[in-house]
Structures are given as C-alpha cells and as structure tokens.
A and B are shown apart, each in its own frame.
Chain A
Amino acid sequence: MSNPLVRKLMLSLGAPILALFVAFALTSLVLMALGDPVRDVWITMLSTPKPRMITNVVNGAIVLYLSAIAVAVGFKMNLFNIGVDGQYRVGSFAAAVFAGQAWLPGILNILVAIIVAMVAGGLWASIAAYLKVQRGVSEVISTIMLNAIATGLVSWLLLKVAVRTAGSNAIGTKVIPESSQLEGWKLIPGASNRVYSLLILAVIVGFLYWFVLSKTRFGFDLRATGSSETAAVASGVKVKRMVMTSMILSGALAGLVGMPLLFGQDHSYGTTFQAGLGFAGIGIALLGRNHPVGIAFAALLWSYLDTQANGLQIRAGVAPELVYIIQGIILFAVVIAYEGTRRLDIRLEQQRVARELAAQRTARQTEGAVA
C-alpha cells in the first residue's frame, strides 16, 4: 500500500464492498431466525434482471440520484437537509400545476416548469435556512417539521386544483399537454419500456455539482466551511450567507427530483406520485460519499435492490419490505466502515510522511558525507 493512489482506491472501494457483505450476512441471519427461505430470497434478489427491469432500475436510479445530490450539497457544508422529501413534493406540485396550464409550448413549457420546481423547492428550503441563520434553529428539526407541513399543504392545495381521473379514486393536477410529455429513450436493448429523457438532467446536475464544488471559489468556500467552520470564518467566508445559499441550493436541486417522473411517466402530480424519495437520498448520499460518481453507483445499487425486491413475494414468499432491512444494514455498515477507513487513511498517511521524511534526511546525510 505504498502507492498513495492505490491506497486511496482500495480504502474507498473496500468500505462499501465490506458493507455489502455485512448486509448479506446479517440479512441471512434475520431470514434464518424467522424461518424464511434464505436461498430463494438471494436467488431472487441476485437473479439477472430482464431488460424491462433494467430500464426500471435505471429510471429509479435517475430520480434517486437527483435526490442524493440535493442532500450531498448540504452534507458538504455539514448541513443535514432532511427536508429534501418536502422540498421535492412542493417543487413537483408547483411544476405540475404550471406545466398543466400549457401556457408555453412543448420543450419551453418543460424548461420553465423545471425552473418553477427549483424556485419552489428553494423557497421551501429557505424557511429552514432563515430559521437556522437568524434564530439558530437546527436545520434537522426544522426540515423534518417542514416535511410534515409540505405533505399537508400540498394535499390541501391539490384538493383545490384537482381534476378527478375518470373511473378512479385518485386525484391529480391537470395533465400536462402531450407536446410537453417526454417519451424517453430506448437505451436498454430488448426492453419494451424507455429510459426517462431527463436522464440528461441528472447527468448535467452531476457534472455541475462536481464542477462547482471542486473548481470554483464558491465551491472552495463551501467545502472549507463544511470541513472547519472556524477556519472558514478566519479565511473570510461569511458563514451565515453560506448556510443560506447552500441550503437554498440544496432545496432547488431537491425540486428537480420529481421532474423525470412528472414529464416521463406520471404527466401530472397526484396522490399516486412516488413518495419517500428524499429519505432514500440521504442514504444514497452517505453510501456514495457525496461524490458525483460514487452517488451514481449508490443510486443504481439502491434502485436495483428496490426493483429486485418486487419479485420476493411471488418467488420466495417473503415480503418485499425485506429490502428495507438490507438497505438499512448497508447504511449502518457503511457509515461505520467509512469512519474506520478514514482513521486508517490518516494513520497510514502520517506513517508514510514520517517514513519519507526520514528517508530524505538519511539521503541528505549520506550526500553530505560523500561531499
């Protein structure tokens, strides 16, 4: 492990792989304890998905990716934005209402609706940001509460604007015009269904996230604040403004979470709109270590588990909710493993630095002796 690059790679890949094995082992134990068919469960979970299912995995991952990036922006600042769930609800609803009016034609309608979603999500997050900056309210508490309020508020507003779908109890916003519906791309060979067109949105967001954080002044300030608030203050970062900006940014990105669903699948916001995406995003951001590529893999894994679990009831006679146990254990294991490897990494580096400096000294002394 003398090569620092090799060391970094092994440490960063080792931890999640270890976490997967731990999850595998512990879940098996749980299944055995309950007398469930361990073998059948794993055969189902690990079977090669059909092309149609692969499309579902990718589509699920797109949405989860956006959610996790929104959370990761907060994490980089040491802010725990638990409120992505409420922010994406508010954002999706606002965008659905706007797009449903069909004030603008085709693609333009989509683009402006996306901006509407970001503004709505950002505004919703700004409440928590304001409370933190001005009143010192922990963002964890305020965003959890705002999630509850968002659920109620959106349901209430939905009743006001709702259009009842014929022959169903479900209600939803007005369906967006056909010209603004995205039919998706045939990316997976042999699949009858299509990958969301807004895959492109996830790619752009991922790239911008990486670019802004690692290449710009703003990103440097944000990372510095997250890594040491005291050092950031001394370096001239206005921490309050930074908290405000990054929280709103996180909320604006959260507003994007529902967009692939809205334009690629549901075409309206209603009672059946997918819930709980914000909470999954927290886990995926952790698993992907806030890294844009790491999060992509984590989102795919998450979505894969979600999709594969659907077959559990039929093929193994086990409730698909089992997947929550697996995901939960992965998270626990990975958080512990990351902290472990972080410490190991620091220690290894210190040893290496000490060793190399000692070698330099000896080299200089021998040189001196020769001269």
Chain B
Amino acid sequence: MAVEVEGITKRFPGVVANKDITFAVRRGTVHALCGENGAGKSTLMKILYGVQRQDEGTIKVDGQEVNLHSPSDAIKVGIGMVFQHFMLADNLTVLENVVLGAEKLHGIGSGAKNEIKRISQEFGLGINPDAMVADLGVGARQRVEILKVLYRGAKILILDEPTAVLVPQEVDELFDNLRELKAEGLTVIFISHKLDEVLSVADDITVIRRGTTVASVDPKDVNARQLAELMVGSELPTPETSESTVTDQVVLSLRDITMAGTEGRDLLHDIDLDIHAGEIVGIAGVEGNGQAELVEVIMGMREPSAGTVMLEDTDISDWEVREIREAGIGYIPEDRHRHGLLLDAPLWENRILGHQTERPNVKGQLIDAKSAKADTERIVKEYDVRTPSIFVTAASLSGGNQQKLIVGREMTHAKKVLIASHPTRGVDVGAQAAIWDLMRQARHDGLGVLLISADLEELIGLSDTIRVILRGKLTGTFDPDTVTSQDLGAAMTGADTPHDDIPHPTDPQDVR
C-alpha cells in the first residue's frame, strides 16, 4: 500500500469538515477520490499535503506512519501535489519555474536541465526546459506542474480536479500521462467529481459524502449512475412532503435569463422558470453548472446579460439587492460563512444582517437594538437555535445552529419567496430534519420556494417540481413522485446523453 488513511477527522469552528475518513491506495495505481463540492475533498487533500493537521486519525506512507506538519514534510515522504490553479511564473522559462525553491537538488544550470529532460522523456511529458511558460498552453502548463512535483522526488501525486481547466483532447493526453506514471510505478490520487472521467482512468474509487468515506468501489463494478447515487446519498432520513399546496398563482418568474461567460460559453442560457405560491421548485445539478449564478441573478447580486425577473406583477430585473430583500424574498445562501453571517459579530447583530432597513431591526435611520435583541430571542426559541445567549459570536455556534439562525431570520422576512441554496449542507442530521420541516412550513404558508441542493433525496423528498440544470441551461423537468435518483444523476451529469464518455463543452445541447 502506498498510502493508508485511517480515521481522519478534522473540525473547524462550527463544522466538521472530515469525519472518520478511511481508505487505502495501492502502489502503482490511479486512485480516484470523488464527491460533490463541499463533501470534504479539499480539506482531506490539504491534510495529505501537510497544509493542515488532522484532529484525529493516522496517515501511513509505505506502511510507515507519518506526521505531516508542512508541505515540505509531505514532499520528504514522497507526496507531491498538483493544484487546480497553476502556480507558475509566466515570465520565466520552464527550467526556472521547476528549479524555483528546489535549487539544492540539481542546481540551476545544466544539471537541472538534464534532469528535466530525463523526467520528461521517462514519463512522456514532452516538455522543453527552455520554453517560456507564457508560450505554453493549458495542457502543457499542467504537465510542467506535474514535472515540478516529480523533480522534487514525489512518488505519490495528488491531482486536484486536474481536468477542470482542460478541453477534451487535453483530458485524453493527461490520462495517457497518468497511465505512463502508473506504469513507472508511481501512485496517483485523482480528485474529481466528473464521473465519466473517474470511471475511465481510475483503478480504484473512493467516494466521499458529507465529509466521510462512504464507499470504496471498483470502477468495473459500477456505472456513472450508481456512482452519482453514492455521491449524493440515498439512505439519509427521507424528506417527504405532505399533500400538495401548489396554487396557480405565479410568485416568481424568470424569462430568457442569459449571462455571458468569459470563455465563450454562457454561464446561464435562456433560463425560463416559474415558481408558484405554495410550491417548492427543486434545482438539481452538479455544482458549477450555473446554480450560483441563477441565485445571484434573482437576488440582484449579479446582472444578467438579458432576460427579466418578475416578482408577481413587478419587474424586479433592475432592482438592487436591498430592494429585492425588502420586497419579501428571503435568501438562505449557499456559503453561510461568506454570505450569510458576520462571524465575529454577536447573534443579535447577525439577525439584523440582510434586513438593515426593516422592522424590528431599525427605527428610521437608527438601529433598534432592543427590538432586534428581543426578536433574536424569539428566533432562537422558535427555530431551536442551541446557544447559551444571543450575545455570543456567530462563529462559536455549530454549523447546524448557524443555519437555523439564518433560516429563522429569512423566514421572518420572506413574505413571498424563499431562495434556499444548499440549506442543509454541512449540518448534522438533527438540524437537517428541522430545516426540512421549516421548508415544508414555508410551502404550507404559501411561499414560493426555490430549493437548490446537491442532495438528491432532499430534492426528491421536498420538491413539487424538479428542474435539472446542466452547463447553464435548464435541461429537464421531473416529477418527484416518479423520478429516481438514478434518473436525476444521469440527467445532471449528461450521462443520459448518447455516446457521451467525456462531455463536450461546445455541444451540450442534446441532453434529455
């Protein structure tokens, strides 16, 4: 075994990022770690590379337990990391980039150049040490990054989402390189959420969900749909809704929403979406397919290139965030630490956040601290936020309790629409059930709810309608009463598209 990871647990204030992660990587293989964004892959990687320390658990390399305090410890035991975002200086040559920080190994002159040539030849990387990095394409830059790691003596390579930046032909080339590395006895840990790629290149697959390893599978035994199901989970407490409360009154309606991207492909393309009072519309999709942009357009945080957003009969396309919030759209953000809370501020100030112009938080231009505090007490009680007082900082609460505070705050002000982005991500099972109850309550109260989630069981259980988003387009509509996780997983990854081993970014149209 090249690497054995056992019982790794890592806690951050308010969240458990990794919980009891256990897996083993065989020498001379490509081992894929797959899971949704936010499942805890990046924390695990940082632990393996010595950037962060685990709270519990052990890492063994070649059977020896290792203590990784820094990346240099990691490289000493032969672990090297190729980051998703390249760390190369454009105005230097390949040689200069490679020796930078490793001058002691082979010097900076001909010795180093010969070593680079040798490595390049041995692994078929095709790198010229004298080329300027600025002149290299993305694929070649990535090979330089791999070479950098090999030059430093790595026997185990961790690649973080290496295909995210590549076009399909480059992906094929990368996979050939990986097979070459494997043939030479090196070990590759390959991190990805693209199922087809994982299946085509990996010898073993470990699936991570909600911060813990849920399965280790042989790619020969599973297909993309089964893998998708493992990634999003299906044995969690089921979020069933009772009888339908959907009305025919449209509360929020999006027409032809398009947002241009920087690389030719639209981030959002011709989105048409209606949400009715008393309806939960679920959006299923692999992360990064336009969900975040869709939410930001509705909330007024980003301007679409075209299209209109209507709240009942009012065109709110040009409204500011504050006006939209005042009009009665509640917002549970995807990343509560970045968008939902002031971590250093007490709970009662966090209760004001997002509603700085609304009662009971303010009277005219002044903050009404007394009423805000009283209402925070109410939210804490009604929404079961576990805290010793409303004066502790938001950072000191657990993730689930932070989220219940946000849900309580937003439900208090959401008069018409609630936008819930991954509302149960990173919260414990108890809080999850409570938040589901609150979603149902919102629906019962006649709100239109937009639910974005990576958890398919959650979507199927709560939604009245499920739409699938793929590469910025709404590609499918499903009835949650009849759809299965497999169907959704397939639609989300485009795996139901004919002959689609590797999704082609320029031709995403023929889905569904």
Does A186 touch B at the CB level, under 8 Å? no
- Taking a contact as CB atoms under 8 Å apart, the answer to whether B340 and A236 are in contact is no
Chain B residues contacting A221 (CB-CB under 8 Å) are 356
Alpha-carbon gap, A223 to B342, bound state (A): 10
CB distance from A238 to the nearest CB of B (A): 7
CB distance from B319 to the nearest CB of A (A): 10
- Binary contact track B339-370/A, C-beta < 8 Å → 1, others 0: 11111110001001111110000100111010
Which of B354, B393, B395 lies in contact with A235, CB distance below 8 A?
Answer: B354
Does A210 touch B at the CB level, under 8 Å? no
- Binary contact track A237-268/B, C-beta < 8 Å → 1, others 0: 11000000000000000000000000000000
Which of B13, B324, B369 lies in contact with A350, CB distance below 8 A?
Answer: B13
Does B448 touch A at the CB level, under 8 Å? no
CB distance from A221 to the nearest CB of B (A): 6
A227: nearest chain-B partner, CB-CB = B342
Does B19 touch A at the CB level, under 8 Å? no
Does B504 touch A at the CB level, under 8 Å? no
Does B396 touch A at the CB level, under 8 Å? yes
- Taking a contact as CB atoms under 8 Å apart, the answer to whether B357 and A217 are in contact is yes
- Taking a contact as CB atoms under 8 Å apart, the answer to whether B339 and A234 are in contact is yes
Chain B residues contacting A220 (CB-CB under 8 Å) are 349, 352, 356, 367
Alpha-carbon gap, A360 to B13, bound state (A): 20
CB distance from B315 to the nearest CB of A (A): 19
A221: nearest chain-B partner, CB-CB = B356
The answer to whether residues A236 and B356 also contact, given A216-B366, A353-B387 and a CB cut-off of 8 A, is: yes
Interfacial residues of chain A within 215-235, with CB under 8 A of chain B in the complex = 215-221, 223-224, 227-228, 230-231, 233-235
Does A357 touch B at the CB level, under 8 Å? yes
Does A183 touch B at the CB level, under 8 Å? no
The answer to whether residues A224 and B393 also contact, given A233-B321, A234-B301, A352-B388 and a CB cut-off of 8 A, is: no
Chain B residues contacting A349 (CB-CB under 8 Å) are 392-393, 395-396
Which of A4, A231, A237 lies in contact with B341, CB distance below 8 A?
Answer: A231
A347: nearest chain-B partner, CB-CB = B13
- Taking a contact as CB atoms under 8 Å apart, the answer to whether B396 and A346 are in contact is yes
Does B499 touch A at the CB level, under 8 Å? no
Chain A residues contacting B322 (CB-CB under 8 Å) are 235-238
Which of A216, A231, A357 lies in contact with B338, CB distance below 8 A?
Answer: A231
Which of B340, B355, B396 lies in contact with A353, CB distance below 8 A?
Answer: B396
- Binary contact track A330-371/B, C-beta < 8 Å → 1, others 0: 000000000000000010011011001100100000000000
- Binary contact track B366-386/A, C-beta < 8 Å → 1, others 0: 110100000000000000001
Chain A residues contacting B355 (CB-CB under 8 Å) are 235
Chain A residues contacting B396 (CB-CB under 8 Å) are 346, 349-350, 352-353
Alpha-carbon gap, A357 to B387, bound state (A): 7
Interfacial residues of chain A within 27-76, with CB under 8 A of chain B in the complex = none
- Taking a contact as CB atoms under 8 Å apart, the answer to whether A353 and B388 are in contact is yes
Does B331 touch A at the CB level, under 8 Å? yes
A234: nearest chain-B partner, CB-CB = B339
Does B474 touch A at the CB level, under 8 Å? no
CB distance from B380 to the nearest CB of A (A): 12
Question: Which range holds the interface residue count of chain B?
Answer: 35 or more
CB distance from B359 to the nearest CB of A (A): 12
- Taking a contact as CB atoms under 8 Å apart, the answer to whether B366 and A215 are in contact is yes
CB distance from B302 to the nearest CB of A (A): 10
Chain A residues contacting B353 (CB-CB under 8 Å) are 224, 231, 235
Main secondary structure of the interface of A (DSSP, over half): helix
Alpha-carbon gap, A227 to B391, bound state (A): 17
Alpha-carbon gap, A228 to B333, bound state (A): 14
- Taking a contact as CB atoms under 8 Å apart, the answer to whether B342 and A234 are in contact is no
Does B299 touch A at the CB level, under 8 Å? yes
CB distance from A360 to the nearest CB of B (A): 8
Chain A residues contacting B81 (CB-CB under 8 Å) are none
CB distance from A356 to the nearest CB of B (A): 4
- Taking a contact as CB atoms under 8 Å apart, the answer to whether B342 and A224 are in contact is yes
CB distance from B416 to the nearest CB of A (A): 17
- Taking a contact as CB atoms under 8 Å apart, the answer to whether B320 and A231 are in contact is no
Which of B301, B342, B392 lies in contact with A228, CB distance below 8 A?
Answer: B342
Chain A residues contacting B386 (CB-CB under 8 Å) are 357, 360
- Taking a contact as CB atoms under 8 Å apart, the answer to whether A353 and B367 are in contact is no
The answer to whether residues A217 and B367 also contact, given A352-B388, A353-B392 and a CB cut-off of 8 A, is: yes
Alpha-carbon gap, A223 to B387, bound state (A): 24
Alpha-carbon gap, A228 to B335, bound state (A): 13
Interfacial residues of chain A within 160-197, with CB under 8 A of chain B in the complex = none
A348: nearest chain-B partner, CB-CB = B396
The answer to whether residues A235 and B392 also contact, given A216-B367, A217-B366, A350-B13 and a CB cut-off of 8 A, is: no
The answer to whether residues A238 and B320 also contact, given A227-B342, A230-B339, A231-B338 and a CB cut-off of 8 A, is: yes
The answer to whether residues A217 and B362 also contact, given A235-B356, A352-B388, A353-B396 and a CB cut-off of 8 A, is: yes
Alpha-carbon gap, A216 to B356, bound state (A): 10
Chain B residues contacting A356 (CB-CB under 8 Å) are 388
CB distance from B177 to the nearest CB of A (A): 37
Does B397 touch A at the CB level, under 8 Å? yes
Does B325 touch A at the CB level, under 8 Å? yes
Interfacial residues of chain B within 215-252, with CB under 8 A of chain A in the complex = none
The answer to whether residues A228 and B338 also contact, given A215-B367, A217-B365, A238-B320 and a CB cut-off of 8 A, is: yes
B354: nearest chain-A partner, CB-CB = A235
Chain A residues contacting B324 (CB-CB under 8 Å) are 236
Which of B13, B333, B343, B392 lies in contact with A234, CB distance below 8 A?
Answer: B333
A359: nearest chain-B partner, CB-CB = B388
- Taking a contact as CB atoms under 8 Å apart, the answer to whether A234 and B395 are in contact is no
Chain B residues contacting A218 (CB-CB under 8 Å) are 365
Which of A4, A215, A217 lies in contact with B356, CB distance below 8 A?
Answer: A217
Alpha-carbon gap, A74 to B89, bound state (A): 34
Which of B362, B391, B395, B397 lies in contact with A346, CB distance below 8 A?
Answer: B395
Chain B residues contacting A224 (CB-CB under 8 Å) are 342, 345, 353, 356
Alpha-carbon gap, A281 to B367, bound state (A): 29
B324: nearest chain-A partner, CB-CB = A236
Chain B residues contacting A350 (CB-CB under 8 Å) are 13, 395-396
- Taking a contact as CB atoms under 8 Å apart, the answer to whether B395 and A236 are in contact is no
Chain A residues contacting B333 (CB-CB under 8 Å) are 234
CB distance from A121 to the nearest CB of B (A): 24
A229: nearest chain-B partner, CB-CB = B338
Alpha-carbon gap, A349 to B322, bound state (A): 32
Task: Provide a sorted-by-A list of 16 A–B residue pairs whose CB atoms are within 8 angstroms.
Answer: A214-B367, A215-B369, A216-B365, A216-B367, A217-B366, A224-B356, A228-B338, A231-B342, A231-B353, A235-B353, A235-B356, A236-B323, A236-B354, A346-B395, A349-B393, A353-B396
- Please name 11 further chain A to chain B contacts, defined as beta carbons within 8 Å, in addition to the given A216-B365, A235-B353, sorted by A numbering: A217-B357, A230-B335, A230-B339, A231-B338, A233-B321, A234-B299, A234-B331, A235-B325, A236-B322, A353-B392, A357-B388
| Residues of chain A at the chain B interface (Cβ within 8 Å) | 4, 214-221, 223-224, 227-228, 230-231, 233-238, 346, 349-350, 352-353, 356-357, 360
The 6 closest A-B pairs by CB, nearest first: A236-B322, A356-B388, A235-B354, A236-B321, A234-B339, A230-B338
